[in-house]
Amino acid sequence: LRHVTKDMKTKNQVREETTVPDIVGRERGNTPNTNKPAVDKKGEPKFLLEDDKKWVVEYQEGKRTDLKTFDIEKTSLHHSVYLYHCEWVAVNISGKINSISIVGCKRVQLKFQDCISAVELLNSLNTEVQVTGKVPSISIDKCREATLYISNDSLDVNIVTCASTGVNVVLPGETTNDDSVELPIPDQFIHKVVDYKLVSNPADHSN
């Protein structure tokens, strides 16, 4: 048998110290946080007609009690209007233009007469759009809280929505004495397979 000496006994051995990782400093924010969202740097405010083709309204910002207003009066059939990253802004467009785009805006009010192509809303919040004349198509993509005021001449407008919530359409009364009618566009749908076809209907929460 092997002879066990005194220094070989476990209780007499000196244990090697293990290094404990310092996580306290990291919890207190001493290390960079890679999960922070990127800061959206604002560009320089613009309001101009580029190359006699596109009216640009970019990075304009007003106040809740004092909207910043822009009037676009010298328009043409080949002109487009582009609103980008504006907040608390009102834009009035006279005459007939080709197209309108509202991208990345918050609390913007748009009023226009005629648009021969389409109006597009993308990634915007709390937007109001009013047509006083004719527009054939309005598309709303990834928006929240959008209200469309439709004129009598545009009752046949095509409205396309995608990944958007809180969209309402306001129609004029049937007669001049009638009040306007507000219609919500459904946010939720129920999908069923019927005869190997997918049938989709708006969800009804009235019951």
Q: What is the DSSP letter of 206?
A: -
Cross-strand pairs, 93: 72, 112
Kindly give the parts of the chain with pLDDT less than 70: 1-41, 205-207
Report the pLDDT value the prediction gives residue 7, as an integer from 0 to 100: 54
> pLDDT digits over 71-98, tens only?
999 999 999 999 999 999 999 999 999 9
DSSP per position, 94-159: EEEEEEEEEES-EEEEEEEEEEEEEEEEES-EEEEEEESS--SEEEEES-EEEEEE--GGGTT-EE
Report the pLDDT value the prediction gives residue 33, as an integer from 0 to 100: 47
Report the pLDDT value the prediction gives residue 8, as an integer from 0 to 100: 52
User: Exposed, middle or buried: residue 119 (CB in 10 Å: 0-12, 13-18, 19+)?
Assistant: buried
Q: What is the DSSP letter of 25?
A: H
Selection from 109, 21, 116, 118 nearest residue 71 by Cα: 109
Token look-up 């396309």 returns 160
Report the pLDDT value the prediction gives residue 176, as an integer from 0 to 100: 86
Evaluate whether 22 touches 6 at the Cβ level (below 8 Å). no
Instruction: Indicate if the alpha-carbon torsion angle 116, 187, 179, 102 is positive or negative.
Output: negative
> How far is residue 84's CA from residue 121's CA, in Å, rounded to a whole number?
10
Report the pLDDT value the prediction gives residue 131, as an integer from 0 to 100: 98
Q: b/e map of 83-102 (b: 16 or more CB within 10 Å)?
A: bbbbbbbbbebeebbbbbbb
> How far is residue 169's CA from residue 190's CA, in Å, rounded to a whole number?
22
| pTM exceeds 0.95 for this model | no
